[in-house]
Structure 1
């Protein structure tokens, strides 16, 4: 059976890391398979939203499978590694150099540790079960996060909370994660995936061009000064103001009906 399952649910795609016996950690092969699936999702015009989760009820993703990852890391020459992973997609595919302007929701059903935590941070929304735990444990083992944790975490939870998580390497539970804005919702374990999929279906009914332009604008405005960012936002709005989807949205509002968007 494949290490990564990819299922179509209308306009939503469910991606499951299927390595429960390994706490859904990723070895090189599983990581590369996940990269290919993200690329397929991005290119599929019928796919509007992705949900990613882990198999079983113990772990979303425990990061890299160090028993095999470290061995392959040592055997991969530095130039080849830099070309494929540093300059290519990061851990889990979406942590670096693979920008997908469609909504991605993480259903965190247990441990999200180190690279698994960073994978969840690269998603737009994070829903979790009460048994979820989050950590960047790298400081315990002599290194630091390298797949977006140091960059995205302060943007999501603020510098103080991020520093506590990064410097201590300690785990935080679901309630702590919700309190600091790391997760958006907490659902009972048995309901997590169903609730997340229902939310994803709702997102899929929204205007895909709106999602696309908004995500691109948010990403590119990071680091801009305020006047330039506001001008860029206005230009982005004008760039898609004459689309069929906007006309459909306005028509549906006038006619008091649900909009049917076509991404055109």
Structure 2
């Protein structure tokens, strides 16, 4: 298996497991990654997901160019044909939060995977780059769109147009990542955050994520209206009542996603 999947404390841990190839993505890993997203999305015991890579040298360096051949289908067939297109990020649009624990290189498609996650934690030896322009291409899995939505446009342009690498501290400075920790502390830090998320009311967590995601493309007035609608939907849920009762009784709430 080129990917490991396990669930602990309500957290699904997806580990890209090709360290000998810098965790680059071959066709087998792409399929396994898609399956892992589907499994975590449909498992009620999973409330949060962590994506990471095996080893400390690389999180993911994108597609394995030695094993990934151009598609046989034409662009028209891929877009309008009967076959379901399988994009690198397919399955990541779930409402459950996804954390990325970046250990080492996050290059090309690997960085685009990280950009598609909700929270990014980096080890001190992490490096990030979208170097496609140096190879006569562009980032094709959301890089040109997700990066400017996460960092200042000037910082995004600097990375996209030069193809230069940045280290973990620079990634922290431009708000690409939320934390930088020692490599030995990376997974502990990610699991601590993931467990805190998993302990919260799952419907509320998913609603908050969806509101942030969908609200980015809406005018403020419409986004606020959407928030008000979601608030009303959650008002009478069992979990919201449980949260208030637990607060009054000074105990930890037990949330069931209802």
Normalised to the residue count of structure 1, the TM-score between the two structures is 0.92
Count, aligned residues = 257
Distance 1:217 1:74 in 2: 35
Corresponding residue to 1:177 among 171, 189, 214: 171
Confirm or deny: 8 A CA contact 2:78 2:85 kept in the other structure: no
Confirm or deny: 8 A CA contact 2:59 2:110 kept in the other structure: yes
Corresponding residue to 2:237 among 243, 254, 258: 243
Q: Does 1:115 align with 2:109?
A: yes
Deviation at 1:10, TM superposition (A): 2.4
Distance 1:68 1:154 in 2: 30
Corresponding residue to 1:139 among 126, 130, 133: 133
Partner of 1:28: 27
Confirm or deny: 8 A CA contact 1:24 1:61 kept in the other structure: yes
Deviation at 1:221, TM superposition (A): 1.5
Partner of 2:54: 55
Corresponding residue to 1:91 among 74, 88, 93: 88
Tell me the secondary structure at the aligned position of residue 46 of structure 2. coil
Distance 1:187 1:172 in 2: 16
Tell me the secondary structure at the aligned position of residue 32 of structure 1. helix
Distance 1:55 1:46 in 2: 24
Deviation at 1:76, TM superposition (A): 4.5
Confirm or deny: 8 A CA contact 2:89 2:116 kept in the other structure: no
Q: Please say which of residues 225-234 and 172-181 is displaced more in the overlay.
A: 225-234
Q: Mind listing any 5+ residue stretches in structure 2 that lack a counterpart?
A: none
Q: Which runs of 4+ in 1 moved over 2 A?
A: 74-84, 86-90
Q: Mind listing any 5+ residue stretches in structure 1 that lack a counterpart?
A: none
Tell me the secondary structure at the aligned position of residue 12 of structure 2. strand
Deviation at 1:128, TM superposition (A): 0.8
Normalised to the residue count of structure 2, the TM-score between the two structures is 0.94
Q: Please say which of residues 178-187 and 252-261 is displaced more in the overlay.
A: 252-261
Q: Does 1:5 align with 2:10?
A: no
Deviation at 1:80, TM superposition (A): 5.3
Tell me the secondary structure at the aligned position of residue 26 of structure 1. coil
Deviations, residues 198-239 of structure 1 (Å, cap 9, x unaligned): 221111101111111111111221221111111111111111
